Amino acid sequence: MLNFGVIGLIIVPILIIMSVIIFISNRYKRCPSNKIIVVYGKTWGNSTAKCVHGGGTFVFPLIQDYAVLSLEPMTTEIDLRGALSKRNIRVAVPSTFTFGVSTEPGIMLNAAERILGLAKEDIINQANDIILGQLRLVIATLSIEEINQDREKFLELINLNVNTELNKIGLEVINVNVRDITDESGYIDAIGKKAAAEAINQAKIEVAQQEKYGAVGEAEANKEKEVQVAQQLAQTNIGQAEAEKERRIQTANLDATAVAGEAAAQKEKDVQIAQQNALSLIGKTTAETEQRIKTADLQAQAVEGENKAKANIAEYNADLAVKQAAALKMGEIAKANAERDVLIAQKEQEEARIKKEELARQEVEKLRIQIEADAEAERQRRIASGEADAIKAKYFAEAEGIKAVLEAKAQGYEQLVKLSAEKPELATSFLMIEKIEQIVASQVEAVKNLKIDKITVWDGGTNGEGSGTTANFLKSLIKSLPALHDLAAQAGIELPQYLGKVEDNISHSDSENKKNNKNGKN
């Protein structure tokens, strides 16, 4: 029993130690050099996460967990078109950006907070938007010349601006490759042509200068050579002339001595001596003359050589001036052509802009006119529809009114016919009485403007009873009045006053007799 107890006391600590070792080994996370371990959850301090690059760290269970950020470089193609430069010239700057997660402590924390758990495509899309905006911003602060000529400054500004914004999400720029820089107006091509023309002109000027130096040196060397040759020839001729003179003098002296020694007499001796002296003088004079002539010839040749050398130098200088003028002319022509191309490009760009603005204005005006025409047509249609509805309603109302009037008249006529069933002629009389006001009004309207001093009635004669036609008309009219009054009273109608009034206590026959008597008296 003691042996098992001792063994248990030994094994239990070993098992505990092994369990602790296994637990620690499982919770210790090692970080590869191309990754970042982000420990999140309960962290000590004010940071929201703990970022580890290289080495390893403990991840405590329950209160902590971890994720991995890859440091693998990511590449995006930025096809920037139509970006405005400092002078409002639109340029295209297609470029390739290589970037990745930064290993700086503060920037790593930004990456843990901003892009942890995002897919690679999502990270590239976010970076693409940031790079595109900052690239436009950098181009807007530079002119075409600065972008095209000072590439180092351009890339430095891109790195500075893009890095500043990418650091906010935990990224940094690794490399920027600007593939090409072009513009819509051809300004960069014009600058290149101008630079090429200036380089060509400068090279031509330098070549002409070197040719000038060579021609001048050659002319000077030829001049020195010709002068030295002329001097040597002159010295040679002078030496020859002097030698010839000495020879002739010595010969003359010897001849004179020989003649004097051979003379037999003093006279002949003197004569011969005089003759020899004369010959000697003549020979001397001839030698001096020849010497002067040759010396003059040599001097003339030397002057001629100098003049030729000067003429050659002047000719070389003239050729050099002509070549310099031609080179300057070609340079000015190339410069003028480049400036003309730039002005033509600017003119074409301005014309395109004006045409575009005019076309847009015309399209807007066309659309406005179309909208106004549609609105006016709609308004006219609505007005016409409203007027038609109003006329329709008016005519419907008038028709309803006429219908009501006609129905009322029809009912009245029906009652009138029923009341005058035994005497149908009474209905006709009532209808005539209904229209008599309109007839009288029409007659009065016809004659109201006539000025009548008197009225003469022509009677057509007497009838069989001995009375005139006018009297008979009046008699018949008066006889019909009582009947009209009776019929109107039965229908509840009151006749107008101009048709007279029938007393209640007088019978129809009495009234007729009175009227007849009255008519007879009249």
pLDDT digits (tens, 9 = 90+) for 76-88: 998 888 888 887 7
Q: Which domain holds residue 152?
A: 72-184
Q: How many C-beta neighbours within 10 Å does residue 135 have? A: 22
Most confident of 46-55, 66-75, 140-149, 478-487: 66-75
Between 287 and 465, the higher pLDDT residue: 287
61 assigned to some structural domain: yes
Q: What is the DSSP string of 228-288?
A: HHHHHHHHHHHHHHHHHHHHHHHHHHHHHHHHHHH-SSHHHHHHHHHHHHHHHHHHHHHHH
**pLDDT tens digit sequence for 35-55:** 888 888 877 777 778 888 877
Based on the structure, what is the number of domains in the chain? 4
- Determine contact, residues 99/166, Cβ cutoff 8 Å: yes
Answer yes or no: do 118 and 202 share one domain. Answer: no
Answer yes or no: do 200 and 303 share one domain. Answer: yes
Answer yes or no: do 180 and 122 share one domain. Answer: yes
Q: Are strands 171-178 and 90-101 parallel, antiparallel or unpaired?
A: antiparallel
DSSP tag of 494: P
- Determine contact, residues 460/468, Cβ cutoff 8 Å: yes
The structure tokens 């002109």 sit at: 201
Range with lowest mean pLDDT among 2-6, 240-244, 313-317, 415-419: 2-6
Helix, strand, coil percent content, the chain, rounded in steps of 5: 70, 10, 15
282 assigned to some structural domain: yes
pLDDT value for 489: 67
pLDDT value for 490: 63
Between 284 and 350, the higher pLDDT residue: 350
Answer yes or no: do 310 and 177 share one domain. Answer: no
Between 432 and 84, the higher pLDDT residue: 84
Among 147, 163, 184, give the residue marking a domain's end: 184
For residue 434, pLDDT over 90 is answered with no
Q: Are strands 35-41 and 64-70 parallel, antiparallel or unpaired?
A: antiparallel
Phi, psi (rounded to 5 degrees) for 79: -95, 75
Answer yes or no: do 24 and 124 share one domain. Answer: no
395 assigned to some structural domain: no
34 assigned to some structural domain: yes
Cα torsion 87, 91, 95, 100: sign: positive
For residue 303, pLDDT over 60 is answered with yes
pLDDT value for 122: 92
**pLDDT tens digit sequence for 490-511:** 656 666 665 666 665 444 445 4
Answer yes or no: do 214 and 128 share one domain. Answer: no
Among 155, 184, 213, give the residue marking a domain's end: 184
Cα–Cα distance, 522 to 514 (Å, whole number): 12
pLDDT value for 505: 44
CA end-to-end distance (rounded Å), the chain: 180
Cα–Cα distance, 305 to 313 (Å, whole number): 12
pLDDT value for 241: 76
182 bridge partner residues:
92
127 assigned to some structural domain: yes
pLDDT value for 460: 56
101 bridge partner residues:
171
**pLDDT tens digit sequence for 337-367:** 878 888 888 888 888 888 888 887 888 888 8
CATH code of the domain covering residue 78:
3.30.479.30
Among candidate residues 55, 48, 176, 184, the one with its CA nearest the CA of residue 108: 48
- Determine contact, residues 482/499, Cβ cutoff 8 Å: no
User: In 3-state terms, what secondary structure has residue 330?
Assistant: helix
**Helix (H) / strand (E) containing 178:** strand 171-178
Among candidate residues 98, 162, 93, the one with its CA nearest the CA of residue 130: 162
For residue 377, pLDDT over 90 is answered with no
pLDDT band at 387 (very low <50, low <70, confident <90, very high): confident
Answer yes or no: do 220 and 313 share one domain. Answer: yes
pTM of the model: 0.37
Q: What is the identity of the amino acid at 468?
A: G
Answer yes or no: do 176 and 266 share one domain. Answer: no
Across the chain, how many H-helices and E-strands are there? 10, 9
516 assigned to some structural domain: yes
pLDDT band at 264 (very low <50, low <70, confident <90, very high): low
In this prediction, residues 83-108 reach a mean pLDDT of: 87
For residue 99, pLDDT over 90 is answered with yes
Among candidate residues 100, 172, 103, 91, the one with its CA nearest the CA of residue 138: 91
Q: What is the identity of the amino acid at 18?
A: M
In this prediction, residues 156-171 reach a mean pLDDT of: 90
Answer yes or no: do 209 and 281 share one domain. Answer: yes
Cα–Cα distance, 189 to 352 (Å, whole number): 19
94 assigned to some structural domain: yes
104 CA to centre of own chain: 44
pLDDT band at 520 (very low <50, low <70, confident <90, very high): very low
pLDDT band at 521 (very low <50, low <70, confident <90, very high): very low
Q: What is the identity of the amino acid at 330?
A: M
156 assigned to some structural domain: yes
- Determine contact, residues 21/54, Cβ cutoff 8 Å: no
The structure tokens 């004669």 sit at: 461
Answer yes or no: do 80 and 175 share one domain. Answer: yes
In this prediction, residues 249-273 reach a mean pLDDT of: 71
Structure tokens at 417: 């016919």
The per-residue pLDDT of the chain, averaged, comes to 76
Answer yes or no: do 168 and 292 share one domain. Answer: no
Answer yes or no: do 196 and 263 share one domain. Answer: yes
